[in-house]
Amino acid sequence: MKLIKRNLGYTLFPILGWVLLVPSTQAQTVFGGIAGTVTDSTGAVVAGAKVQAVEERSGTTLEAVSTSAGTYRLPEVPIGVFDINVSAAGFQPQRLTGIQVNLQTTAAVNIVLKVGAATETVTVAADAPRLQTESSDISGTITADQYQKLPLALGGVGAFRSPEAFIFLLPGNTGPGTANSPNGIFFSKIAGGQDYGAEVLIDGLSQQRSENGSSFDEEAPSVDALQQLTVTEALPSAEYNRTTGGFENFVTKSGGNQFHGYAFEILRNTALDANLWFNGGNRAMQCTGANDTPACASTFATPVDRKNDYGGTFSGPVWIPKVYNGRDKTYFFFAWEQLKYNLGATTITTVPTADELAGDFSNPALFNQSNVVGTNPCDGTPVYQGQIFDPSTTKTVNGVECRTAYPGNKIPGGFSPVAHALLAYFPAPTNGNVFNNFSFSSTAPIENTTMTVRIDTNITQKLKLWSSYSSRDNNRISGAPQYLPYPIDYATWKQDFETHFWRLGLDYVISPNLLNHLIIGSNRSNSINFAVPALEGKNWFSILGIGNATSNNFPVITNGLTAQEGMPNNGDNIDNGLRLVDSVSWQKGAHSLTFGTDIRYQQYSPINNNSPSIGFCAQQTSAYQGSSNNGNGLASELLGLACSGGQNVYAHQSRWISWYYSGYVQDDWKVSRNLTLNLGLNYSVDVPRHEAINNTSNFSPTAIDPEYGVPGALIFGTTCSGCNTKWAETYFKDWAPRVGFAYTPPWLEGKTVLRGGAGILYGPLQYDDFGGSMNAGYKSNPGFNSKNGFDPSFVIDSGYPAFPAPPNLDPGQFNGSFLPGSYIVKTAGRPAAVYNYNLQVQQELAKDLIASIGYVGSQAQNLQANNQNINNIPYQDPFNTANGSDPNVNSFFNASDTNAAAAYRNGSAKPAFIDQVAAVNASPDNLPYTLGNTPRVTNIRMPAWMNEDFSVIKDTPIHENLSFELKFEFLNAFNRHLFGSPDDNPADFTFGIPTYQANSPRAIQVTGRLSF
């Protein structure tokens, strides 16, 4: 039996500083490295020594020759356990065994040769952890064994187990509790970086998304497909850039010379879960006395939790009988995982009754003749609550429009055919009530599937090729529970998020000390969000008879009485990326040089289909203009009299193109046996996005409005002559130097290393508009509202009113109104600059125990923000509209890498809270405003977030190569109750009181794994 993990923030971090931090950055790669110095027993360097590394599992062999300075480096070493064979003329050959090579790290292996005959070999066990004497970065590694053994809950952003969950075990990273998230993965921040501002690499290439930055969990491969994760928090080598915090580098597993695999199933069940804290409290308070019934208890029952996650892996040599034997040459790896479960519920909502559909609104629940709400100017009669009036009798009396009441509050006829078609989709009530009269039971399926395939082949001793492909499909009905049958349900929609990662790597050994490393690849994500009827391939508006509108979606209909008909979601987000990284590693004397480039292309296509809406209001069947508490929206709908309506029509679906270029040089200089300098320089150009055919616009403060002849007008990408249709100017000064050192004081017997340095990184140009901004004029959002709130805006039997189709290239089309989302300043193309510095001491306490303590700090400026509003009042308007980096938004981060000391972040933009009695957009013609003095960062803090997870594992051998593992995971084992943010509305009686539980109650997760 094995007791695996106790995750208690402030006590676990120092331990992980000893166990998990394995720093030493390698190239932007899927490999690690081995480096060191070859000397004789007197300390003199040995030049020309042949160093050969052999991987135990696959037999992969790598070779290098020590330079005139005695140094050697194997820069692109597959992850795994290696034996090193060293030979030189006049010395006994030496064999070092059990050397662990981790992702993106360089294992420091210094070799001392003894004079002797070549027939005698000295064997040394070298499997102990090693001081990091070759680099100066701060990083940590999570291995495949830790993914398998540590407790890891189902329920990441994409419902699977999250491969990013363990980054919070490393000091300096935050997430759980942020925005009241129980796992914090979606809001994770590495070393003080911004949300979605980290750089995530999968098999050596960036997965950066246009719409969600580095949000990776929902598109990640199965954790069973991952060999390692390395998280770099500070001072990466020059190969790495484009982050406001740190780096997450994932690499997939490879096969070996033996066939291996396993099948697994993970089980979650309600019977193994604790209840929510508020459920227990409410049941104790409310289900008492006569109300102590099963029905009351079921209201506060433990939330349903029934999940089955299953999958497996298979790997080995590529072997086709009598055709090809890939042993020692070609290997494969395959992983597949699927999660299935259903969310079921019964809901209550309101549908029209048979009487209402017949025009009868006389039911006392609708027509209250004991409550007079006004006097009708048309005939002087009293107006009763809920009384309806005949729109065909509308006339003006004493300047006020008014109508005559329907006798008995019943409409005798004249119903709209279109309204009849719309209302026919409502089901019949399931009880006799007027309100809350329809009960509906439904299930919402969730099915996530992921697959990874990888091939590695040694074409020759000098040429190695590998390729990987990972796909993921998160398929579900979102918004559950469902309230109405399709096509009119208003709550749920089909969500299908698909991801595809492809990588191809080539490593060519030009000479023993010269290597070329190339990776090309592609990313594709497709985020489909369609209302279910939008997937049926029907022209609903033709079917319903509504003119001047075309849509594949059922219209969104509201009437204020019954439930809404229709769900508006009707779009897709397609993000395609191409990547290329290439580097040359050259060992020259005491210098390990790397030269390389990183080129990225991104095409982002937000597809927004038309989902027309129609609103029916009580005013169109009310007594007189300005009256209230009479009329009925459903009665207005029966007559086909709309009070509002809208459409979204695009001349062209935007297609945003962006490029990123980076070049770098890195020199890891072995100045002496005790001192290594890590010197690097990165230069990058992050080109702001542009629309593929220039269907984009921007507000110009200097362009002349043709209507008024004053500065301030829209300019359009298809008509402006010689303008920069990216609107933001490309910044060409992103020079990012890195200087680091690793020093081993000789008087401390080689058991202590001091590591540190400083450098500059640049963040990504990230937009947060999901591609929906900067296109005013190329889309039309016509709104059809009643001009006086009494007369109908249009009659649905006649269709929508006519409107000009886009594009509309009038520079002054928004005169007198708010201009949404079409303003970017020229300086917004300047990326955020992050100034990084760190210092760390590592101490070997025993042969198998290394302790480290250190400090990480960073400062950043020009962080991406959304707070440049050209219409704002003095200081800073908290309601923001513009995209881009802001020179006023900066951050500061300081932390210990042993216990993750609290991060403090602030922005220098001054806050403004508008006085409640003042107008937001004040002018001499209205009330003055005053500025509050509440600071942006207060001393109000939520309680500390603490959580303990345990796993207990029992291994049972079945046969020589067959075993069964049973794993129990106790998640939130002590059932801690961590509450969400308190109610912040002073008008609420619960003001200042938490009303929900932010974390998940204790759950027990059971995993069975059959391995061979």
Write out pLDDT tens, residues 464-473: 999 999 999 9
Residue 20's pLDDT band, with cuts at 50, 70 and 90, is: very low
Arithmetic mean of pLDDT, 103-117: 81
Cis preceding-peptide flag for 129 (omega within 30 of 0): no
- Return the structure tokens found at 383: 């107006």
* Alpha carbon of residue 651 to chain centroid: 30
Tell me: pLDDT of 131 over 80. yes
pLDDT of residue 896: 53
Pair 1006, 258: CB distance under 8 Å: no
Looking only at Cα atoms, what is the longest distance across the chain?
122
The proportion of the chain whose per-residue pLDDT surpasses 90, expressed as a percent, equals: 54
Query: For residue 540, what is the enclosing H or E element?
Result: helix 540-544
Pair 80, 55: CB distance under 8 Å: yes
Arithmetic mean of pLDDT, 878-895: 48
Tell me: pLDDT of 1008 over 80. yes
Arithmetic mean of pLDDT, 651-663: 95
Strand 32-40, strand 106-108: pairing = parallel
Least confident of 95-99, 781-785, 801-805: 95-99
Q: Tell me 902's DSSP state.
A: P
* Contacts of the segment 711-718: beta carbons below 8 A, 24+ positions apart: 713/811, 713/812, 714/776, 714/777, 714/810, 714/811, 714/812, 714/813, 714/814, 714/819, 714/822, 715/811, 716/777, 716/778, 716/807, 716/809, 716/811, 717/691, 718/693, 718/694, 718/807, 718/809
Arithmetic mean of pLDDT, 859-867: 77
Of 885 and 751, more confident: 751
> Which CATH superfamily does the domain covering 32-125 fall into?
Carboxypeptidase-like, regulatory domain (2.60.40.1120)
pLDDT of residue 691: 95
Arithmetic mean of pLDDT, 316-324: 91
Tell me: pLDDT of 495 over 60. yes
Q: What is the pLDDT of residues 508-545, one digit of tens each?
A: 999 888 999 999 999 999 999 999 999 999 999 999 99
Q: What angle do CA 178, 164, 136 make, to 5 degrees?
A: 100
pLDDT of residue 769: 81
Residue 122's pLDDT band, with cuts at 50, 70 and 90, is: low
Q: What is the pLDDT of residues 911-939, one digit of tens each?
A: 223 233 333 333 444 444 455 666 666 66
- Where are the domain boundaries for CATH 2.60.40.1120 in the chain? 32-125
Neighbours of 480 (CB within 10 A): 20
Q: What is the pLDDT of residues 380-391, one digit of tens each?
A: 999 999 999 999
pLDDT of residue 553: 96
pLDDT of residue 195: 80
Alpha-carbon separation of residue 934 from 421, 873, 939, 993 (angstroms)? 55, 17, 11, 21
Q: Tell me 555's DSSP state.
A: -
* Unique residue bearing structure tokens 């935007």: 654
Tell me: pLDDT of 210 over 70. yes
Residue 101's pLDDT band, with cuts at 50, 70 and 90, is: confident
Looking at residue 37, its amino acid is T
Pair 252, 227: CB distance under 8 Å: yes
pLDDT of residue 910: 29
Residues 6+ apart with CB under 8 A from 367: 361, 384, 385, 386, 387, 409
- Where are the domain boundaries for CATH 2.170.130.10 in the chain? 139-252
pLDDT of residue 893: 58
Tell me: pLDDT of 907 over 60. no
Of 155 and 554, more confident: 554
Length of the chain: 1012
pLDDT of residue 489: 97
pLDDT of residue 3: 32
Nearest C-alpha neighbor of 242 from the set 186, 175, 189, 193: 193
DSSP string, 652-711: S---EEEEEEEEEEEEEEEEETTEEEEEEEEEEEEEEEEETT---EEEEEEEEPTTT-SE
- Residue 829 in 3-state DSSP? helix
pLDDT of residue 300: 87
Tell me: pLDDT of 22 over 60. no
Tell me: pLDDT of 330 over 70. yes
Residue 74's pLDDT band, with cuts at 50, 70 and 90, is: confident
- Residue 14 in 3-state DSSP? helix
- Return the structure tokens found at 426: 């409502």
Neighbours of 81 (CB within 10 A): 13
Give dist(CA 992, CA 979) in Å, integer.
12
pLDDT of residue 487: 97
Nearest C-alpha neighbor of 173 from the set 234, 241, 131, 221: 234
Q: What is the pLDDT of residues 578-601, one digit of tens each?
A: 999 999 999 898 899 999 999 999
Arithmetic mean of pLDDT, 186-208: 87
Of 754 and 75, more confident: 754
* Contacts of the segment 886-889: beta carbons below 8 A, 24+ positions apart: 886/862, 887/827, 887/861, 887/862, 889/861, 889/862, 889/863, 889/864, 889/865
> The domain 139-252: what is its CATH number?
2.170.130.10
Q: What angle do CA 86, 87, 89 make, to 5 degrees?
A: 155
Number of separate helices (H) and strands (E) present in the chain: 8, 51
- Residue 356 in 3-state DSSP? helix
Tell me: pLDDT of 883 over 60. no
DSSP string, 260-303: EEEEEEEEE-GGGBPPPHHHHHHHHHHS-GGG-SHHHHHHTPPP
Give dist(CA 756, CA 857) in Å, integer.
11
pLDDT of residue 939: 67
* Unique residue bearing structure tokens 């000479």: 511
Q: What is the pLDDT of residues 332-362, one digit of tens each?
A: 999 999 999 988 888 999 999 999 999 999 9
Q: What is the pLDDT of residues 748-758, one digit of tens each?
A: 888 899 999 99
Of 130 and 978, more confident: 978
Tell me: pLDDT of 12 over 50. no
Tell me: pLDDT of 15 over 80. no
pLDDT of residue 905: 29
Tell me: pLDDT of 6 over 60. no
For the ranges 181-185, 210-214, 853-857, the one whose mean pLDDT is highest: 853-857
Kindly report the pTM of this predicted structure: 0.86
For the ranges 106-120, 534-548, 872-886, the one whose mean pLDDT is highest: 534-548
Residue 407's pLDDT band, with cuts at 50, 70 and 90, is: very high
Residue 862's pLDDT band, with cuts at 50, 70 and 90, is: confident
The proportion of the chain whose per-residue pLDDT surpasses 70, expressed as a percent, equals: 88
Ramachandran assignment for 412, one of left (phi > 0), alpha (psi -120 to 50 degrees), beta (any other): alpha
- The mean predicted confidence, pLDDT, of the chain is 85
Q: What is the pLDDT of residues 451-464, one digit of tens each?
A: 999 999 999 988 99
Q: What is the pLDDT of residues 769-786, one digit of tens each?
A: 888 888 889 998 899 999
Arithmetic mean of pLDDT, 630-654: 96
* Unique residue bearing structure tokens 């003119």: 547
Cross-strand bridge partners of residue 498: 473, 526
Cis preceding-peptide flag for 943 (omega within 30 of 0): no
